[in-house]
Amino acid sequence: MAPILVRMSLLPILEYPDPRLRTVAREIDPAELDDAFRAHVDDMFETMYAAPGIGLAASQIDDHRRFMVIDVSEAHDQRRVFVNPRILSREGEQVCQEGCLSVPSIQADVTRAEKIVVTALDAHGAPFELAAEGLLAVCIQHEMDHLLGKLFIDYLSPLKRDMIKRKLSKQRRSAA
Ligand code: GNR
Ligand code: NI
């Protein structure tokens, strides 16, 4: 029987207010989409599932290339990779209570488009177009914000954001 090598690792996730989360990601040259890139994508999925989360932008693991991974399914069987994503159209509004692996234990309502059409490359460089609504649409918009250095708490009032900053630093002090 041929041996099967399984090589995976969990990646550390940057946490607010780490300034690296504010980096604007750079476009990926399709020539970069090699086996090493796809192994890295697998590590991101494992990191996301372990957290647990439904999406992870490269920015959150201190990789400032323009891509993200998403799986909103409960069975963890709908992996989607978006390289150089672009939103082609948006329609309607929805309010969703959001959380973020980079802002642990904080949740807040955010208003976003209800339906979007997004285009991107997959992990092999093949272009695709996807119409998304509901939670998938929320998650795509949340991850694309990360790629621009933006966090969901940026939509809240400065007062509320300051309260969150204090709560997180207090949490970290008691965890240390
Ligand atoms: O796991 C996550 N859940 C979630 C819930 C509502 C709206 C957005 C998200 S994304 C988040 C994972 C994350 O931080 N991705 O950047
Ligand atoms: Ni997030």
CATH number of the structural domain spanning residue 25: 3.90.45.10
* Ligand number with the minimum distance to the CA of 57: 1
Q: Please tell me the number of the ligand nearest to residue 55's CA.
A: 1
Any idea which residues carry the catalytic annotation? Answer: 143
Kindly state whether residue 87 falls inside one of the protein's structural domains: yes
Question: CA nearest 48: which of 71, 32, 66, 67?
Answer: 71
Checking if the pLDDT of 55 tops 80, the result is yes
- Residue 73 domain-assigned? yes
Indicate whether 15 pLDDT > 80: yes
Q: What whole-number distance in Å separates Cα of residue 13 and Cα of residue 5?
A: 25
pLDDT of residue 3: 79
121 has pLDDT over 80: yes
What is the average pLDDT value for the chain, to the nearest integer?
96
Ligand 1 centroid vs 92 CA: distance in angstroms?
20
Compute the distance from residue 54 Cα to the ligand 2 centre, in Å. 9
In a domain, 149, yes or no: yes
List the domain range (segments joined by +) for residue 121. Answer: 19-170
Q: Which helix (H) or strand (E) holds 120?
A: strand 115-121
Q: Are 100 and 106 in contact (CB under 8 A)?
A: yes
Looking at residue 108, the DSSP 8-state letter turns out to be: E
Residue 3 lies in a domain: no
Residue 69 lies in a domain: yes
As for how many domains the chain has, the answer is 1
Answer whether residue 35 is part of any domain: yes
Query: Does pLDDT of 175 surpass 90?
Result: no
Instruction: Give residues whose Cβ lies within 5 Å of ion ligand 2.
Output: 100
Among the residue ranges 4-8, 9-13, 147-151, 156-160, the one predicted with the least confidence is: 4-8
116 in a structural domain: yes
